[in-house]
Amino acid sequence: MTLGSQETLGREAAARTTGIQALTRRGIAMEAAPQRSTARFPDGADFRIEIPSVEGPAVLRAVVEQAAAEGVTINRVSQGSGAMLLSEQELAEMAALGAGHGLEISLFVGPREEWDIGSLAQSDEGPSRGGLIRGSRQLRYAVDDVLRGVDCGIRGFLVADTGLLELLAGMQKDGEIPDSVVWKVSAMLAPGNPLSVAQLERLGADTVNVPSDTTLGLLAELRAATTLPIDLYVEAPSSMGGVVRGHEAAELVAVASPMYVKFGLRNSRPLYPSGLHLASEAAAIAREKVHRARVAMEWMDRAGLELTQSGPGAPGLGIPEPAP
């Protein structure tokens, strides 16, 4: 784009009528927006972008390629099948890719109840138990899963069990796990009230995924209760409600910042546990999530709220530290 065309677009944007203005002129009252958050990431940014269900090196490469093609900065990718299902070579490859692009790699800790031999988690009433750790044997393997990932250079993990979160944070405090590791509370443990989010902060969480159907008012309540970054699906997979609200991203960030803007994909196939048998579909789904992020960024620019995004390798990200 030439300088002249940039200036023309700038003038057009400045003169553009907004939806709020159009409604106001016609006497239509808008819902009052909560107060804008004054909290920010350590680098002063309002938001970061997260792509979930990045299930292995091939899918991660697809995300990196699509982000370059779309001109989008991805700050974090997360994975849901469990670090335990990746080989050490795959873990090391993901760590190297993440480090090379200033990108946090956050892997789900396994095992967990949804993969275990118990039947309750598989019942109609059981999905809420899927991310929990069952018994001391699973606790032992969960700790080993984290330590194995750390040995391969991974510095970000998703946790969906409060006992495990407290244990891992305690090990980190005692020097058994590097200080650079980031604990991300999974959407499977998403807190829906201020007391719960504050409790997760006390237990050692570094970022907290809140429910995807959270309203602006509830977001403001949660933000008032914690200083932690809030992770929010602006598009959720169908299994988590299927909300599609990328066009609202600017308002959501303004109220919840610092916020990870997270892109699932409605109407896509379930991927967990993933593997080579689903590699092509997982990559295609991940590419579309990056595209959804590009579209949401356009909506954010149009909102005129002057929101800023963190760049690669920003402070507070769990950037991998590959072994020499």
Considering the entire predicted model, what is its pTM? 0.89
More confident residue, 61 or 323: 61
Distance of CA 281 to the CA centre of its chain: 20
Per-residue model confidence as pLDDT tens digits over 262-318? 999 887 777 778 888 888 899 999 999 999 999 999 999 999 899 999 999 999 999
The pLDDT of residue 108 is above 80: yes
Contact (CB, 8 A) for 152 and 92: yes
Q: What is the dihedral of CA 55, 60, 61, 67, to 10 degrees?
A: 130
More confident residue, 122 or 163: 163
The pLDDT of residue 127 is above 80: no
The pLDDT of residue 125 is above 60: yes
Per-residue model confidence as pLDDT tens digits over 219-260? 999 999 999 999 999 988 767 777 889 899 999 999 999 999
- The residue type of 203 is L
More confident residue, 302 or 3: 302
Asked if residue 34 has a cis previous peptide bond (ω within 30° of 0), the answer is no
Question: What is the per-residue pLDDT for 32?
Answer: 75
In this prediction, residues 137-158 reach a mean pLDDT of 96
When pLDDT is cut at 50, 70 and 90, the band that residue 15 belongs to is low
Residue 182, CB-side half-sphere exposure with 13 Å CA sphere: 25
The pLDDT of residue 212 is above 60: yes
When pLDDT is cut at 50, 70 and 90, the band that residue 12 belongs to is low
The pLDDT of residue 3 is above 50: no
Question: What is the per-residue pLDDT for 6?
Answer: 45
The pLDDT of residue 10 is above 60: no
Per-residue model confidence as pLDDT tens digits over 48-89? 999 999 999 999 999 999 999 999 999 999 998 889 999 999
Per-residue model confidence as pLDDT tens digits over 169-197? 999 999 999 999 999 999 989 999 999 99
Tokens of 206: 């570094």
Q: What is the dihedral of CA 45, 107, 52, 268, to 10 degrees?
A: 180
Question: What is the per-residue pLDDT for 319?
Answer: 98
- In whole angstroms, give the CA distance from residue 76 to residue 312: 9
142: left (phi over 0), alpha (psi -120 to 50) or beta: alpha
| For helices 216-225 and 249-256, angle between their N-to-C axes, nearest 10 degrees | 30
> What letter would DSSP give residue 278?
G
Question: What is the per-residue pLDDT for 118?
Answer: 72
H/E stretch holding 208: strand 207-209
- In whole angstroms, give the CA distance from residue 98 to residue 123: 37
Asked if residue 237 has a cis previous peptide bond (ω within 30° of 0), the answer is no
Contact (CB, 8 A) for 95 and 152: yes
When pLDDT is cut at 50, 70 and 90, the band that residue 202 belongs to is very high
Asked if residue 191 has a cis previous peptide bond (ω within 30° of 0), the answer is no
Which value, in Å, is the radius of gyration of the alpha carbons in the chain? 20
Mean pLDDT of the chain: 89
Question: What is the per-residue pLDDT for 126?
Answer: 60
Question: What is the per-residue pLDDT for 9?
Answer: 46
Q: Which domains does the chain have, with CATH numbers?
A: 42-303 (3.20.20.70)
